[in-house]
A and B are shown apart, each in its own frame.
Chain A
Amino acid sequence: QQPVQSPQAVILREGEDAVINCSSSKALYSVHWYRQKHGEAPVFLMILLKGGEQKGHEKISASFNEKKQQSSLYLTASQLSYSGTYFCGTEIRGGSNYKLTFGKGTLLTVNP
């Protein structure tokens, strides 16, 4: 039930764009995106709910394709501060016994 993330790693120059994908073989209720910098805790970026809209946070946005059970995270005009490992977390059903299952992460490196 672990979602599959791609790519595993990506290297950008400052100002370039990137897309990180997350897919599941199960019907998803929600998809979360988190960023973890080296030696720190994961930090919540955004959540996409079933039937919800595309979300955005400054130059980082995400979409959720319910038919394909896929989500994509879009980073535009990347900044050095975007470097880190990005995780998608998927929730298979809502309600009680809420559980997020994380993908293996995508290591994003932004160079000057």
Chain B
Amino acid sequence: DTAVSQTPKYLVTQMGNDKSIKCEQNLGHDTMYWYKQDSKKFLKIMFSYNNKELIINETVPNRFSPKSPDKAHLNLHINSLELGDSAVYFCASSQGPSPLHFGNGTRLTVT
């Protein structure tokens, strides 16, 4: 039933580790996004994919690599995690230029 689902909901890991976050949407949307929300609640776009093609890549360290196996899935892999990567990561989807539907977020804590 869930429109945009992310896993895991919580992720606690140590500096230097590699982790992945998965996202799936069942809305039939053609565009998916990753947003990062920091401790001050600032929502910043990281990546955007349209039909599996990367169309927006904001100034994000190369340690972050998105992958979209199909238009319903967008995963985020993070290498060599740093303390500053701690945040809530939201996946979202839309049908072109339409309202975003957000997943419930993944709270990443790097210790």
Contacts and interface: CB of A to CB of B under 8 A. Distances in A.
Which bucket holds chain B's interface residue count? 20 to 34
B104 interface: yes
B105 A105 contact: no
Given A97-B55, A104-B40, A42 B102 contact: yes
Nearest to B101: A44
Contact of B45 (A43, A95, A99): A99
B45 A42 contact: no
B90 A91 contact: no
A102 interface: yes
Given A32-B99, A41-B104, A98 B40 contact: no
Contacts of B90: 41-42
Contact of A101 (B41, B45, B98): B45
A36 B37 CA distance: 12
A30 B97 contact: yes
Contacts of B13: none
A40 B104 contact: yes
B79 interface: no
A-B complex: 10 closest residue pairs judged by Cβ atoms: A41-B102, A44-B99, A98-B97, A102-B43, A105-B41, A41-B104, A42-B102, A97-B55, A99-B56, A94-B97
Interface of A: 30, 32, 34, 36, 40-44, 47, 85, 87, 89, 91, 94-102, 104-105
